[in-house]
Amino acid sequence: MSRFRFANVFRFNFLLENLNRDLKFLFLSNLAGSFGDGLYFYILPLYIQGLGAQPAEVGVIFAILGLASALTPIPGGFLADRYDRKKLMILAWLIWIPVPLIFSMAQNWSHLIPGSFLYGCFIGGPASSAYIATSAKKEEMASTFTTLSAAWWFGYIFSPGIGGYIATLFGMRLVFYLAFALYTLATVFILFVRSQYATKPSMSSSFSVSFRKRELLIWSSFFAAIFFVLSQFRPYVTLFLKGVYTLSEFQIGVLGSVTFAGSTILLLGIGKLGDKWKKSGAVFVSLLLTFISISMFISFTDFSVLALASFVMGGSFAVWSLMSAVTGSLTPEATRGRWMAVAQTASLVAAFPAPYIGGVVYEASPYNPFTAAIIATLLLAVLALIILLKVET
C-alpha cells in the first residue's frame, strides 16, 4: 500500500493526525497487544488466588514482575542507542508471546514465576520510548505519547469484560490462548515499522545532557515516588472488589473495561494539557484524578458509583506517558535511549517492592493500601503543582 493510500485510511480519525506512518503502525500494535493483555491482566490476581495464593503471595508474583521490569531498562537503553530500535521492539514482543501459554499451564501459584519474570521484561521499553520521542514533533511530545498510550488502553476497554465472561463460561485457559494470538498479531504490526538508529553524539548534545541533568534527576525521583504509590494498591483492586464487595468476575471485568475507557479518553485530554500548558500541570491533574477515584472506590458500594470511580481512575495511567514525554524532551537523540532508561529504571525499582508491601498491609485490612494511596497521591499532587512548576522550563 502506498504512503498516500495508507494516510487516507487514517484520515477519518483525528486522533491520529499527529502520528506519522511508523507511529500509526505502533498504534495498531498497541491496540492488538493491549486487547490480548486486557483479556487476563485485570483478573490475573483472581487467577493467582485461585491457584492457592494468599494476598502476600499475590504480591510476590507482581514483585517478581516488577523485579524483571527494574533490571531490564538500563541494558535496553544502551542497546537502543547502538542498534536498530525496531528490532528491539520486535524482541520485546517475542519475549512476551509465550507468557500467556506459561500461565495457562500453571497448577500452583508458584508455577507462574517464570512467566511473571518474562512478563516483566522491559528491554524494549527504552527503544520504544526513544523511537516515539525521535519521531514525534517536539511541540506535540506529550500528546503523541498519550495518544499511543490511549491506543493501548483502548484495547483494554472491552477485553477485561470479555476475558471475565470467557473465563466464567470456559475457564482461563481459552483466555490465555486468545491473548497469545493477539500478542503475535501485535508483533506482526511492528514488522511494518521502518528501522531507526540513534544519531552520533555531538558536543552540543553532551552539553545539553549535563545542563539539564538536575531537571532529569528531579523528575526521575518524583515519578519513582508516584509509581511506588500506584503499584502498592493496583494489584489489589480486583481482590477488594471480589472479597469486600463480593462482585462476580464478570462485574469486575466490566469495571476494568470502564477504567480503561476512562484512561483512553482522559489520556488524550491530559496529553493536550501537557502540550498547551506544562507537563507538570498534566501530572498534577493525573494525580488529582487518582486521589478522587480511590476515595470514591473505598467509600461507596453502589455499582454505578464504582463505575464512575473506575472511569476516573483511568487518569492514573497517564503517568507513564507523561514520564516518557518529559524525559524525551530533556534528552538528546544520540543518547535518548539510555537516559530514558534511567528514569524508567528509577520508577520500576521503586515499584518493585510495592506489591508485596501492599499485600502485607492488605492482609491486615483490605482498606489499608487504598487509604495509604489516598494520602500519598494528594501530597504528590500538591508537590507537582507547587514545586515542579518551578523546575520545568
Secondary structure, 3-state, 114-128: HHHHHHHCCCCHHHH
Q: Report the distance separating Cα 187 and Cα 178, nearest Å.
A: 15
Q: Report the distance separating Cα 91 and Cα 191, nearest Å.
A: 11
Q: Report the distance separating Cα 280 and Cα 137, nearest Å.
A: 19
Residues 6+ apart with CB under 8 A from 68: 116, 117, 118, 119, 120, 121, 122
The single-letter code of the amino acid at 290 is T
Average pLDDT of adjacent 10-residue blocks, the chain of 393 residues? 41 62 91 90 86 86 86 88 92 94 92 92 87 83 82 82 84 93 96 87 48 76 92 89 87 84 84 78 91 95 94 88 80 76 84 85 93 95 76 52
Q: Report the distance separating Cα 176 and Cα 163, nearest Å.
A: 9
The 8-class DSSP code of residue 358 comes to H
CA nearest neighbour of 356 among 35, 20, 66: 66
The single-letter code of the amino acid at 311 is F
Cell of 18: 499527529
Residues 6+ apart with CB under 8 A from 82: 198
Place of cell 493510500: 5
Residues 6+ apart with CB under 8 A from 238: 42, 43, 45, 46, 252, 256
Give the HSE-up count for residue 89: Cα atoms under 13 Å, Cβ half-sphere: 29
Taking the chain, what is the end-to-end CA distance rounded to the nearest angstrom?
Answer: 42
Q: Report the distance separating Cα 190 and Cα 117, nearest Å.
A: 23
**CA quadruple 280, 320, 110, 363: dihedral sign:** positive
Q: What is the pTM of this model?
A: 0.74
Element housing 331 (H / E):
none
CA nearest neighbour of 358 among 227, 181, 175, 205: 227
Q: Which domains does the chain have, with CATH numbers?
A: 16-194+211-391 (1.20.1250.20)
pLDDT at res. 203: 47
pLDDT at res. 313: 93
Cell of 116: 511473571
CA nearest neighbour of 373 among 257, 240, 253: 240
Cell of 357: 508491601
pLDDT at res. 325: 81
CA nearest neighbour of 86 among 183, 15, 191, 188: 191
Q: Report the distance separating Cα 252 and Cα 272, nearest Å.
A: 31
Give the HSE-up count for residue 126: Cα atoms under 13 Å, Cβ half-sphere: 35
pLDDT at res. 13: 53
Q: Report the distance separating Cα 152 and Cα 187, nearest Å.
A: 14
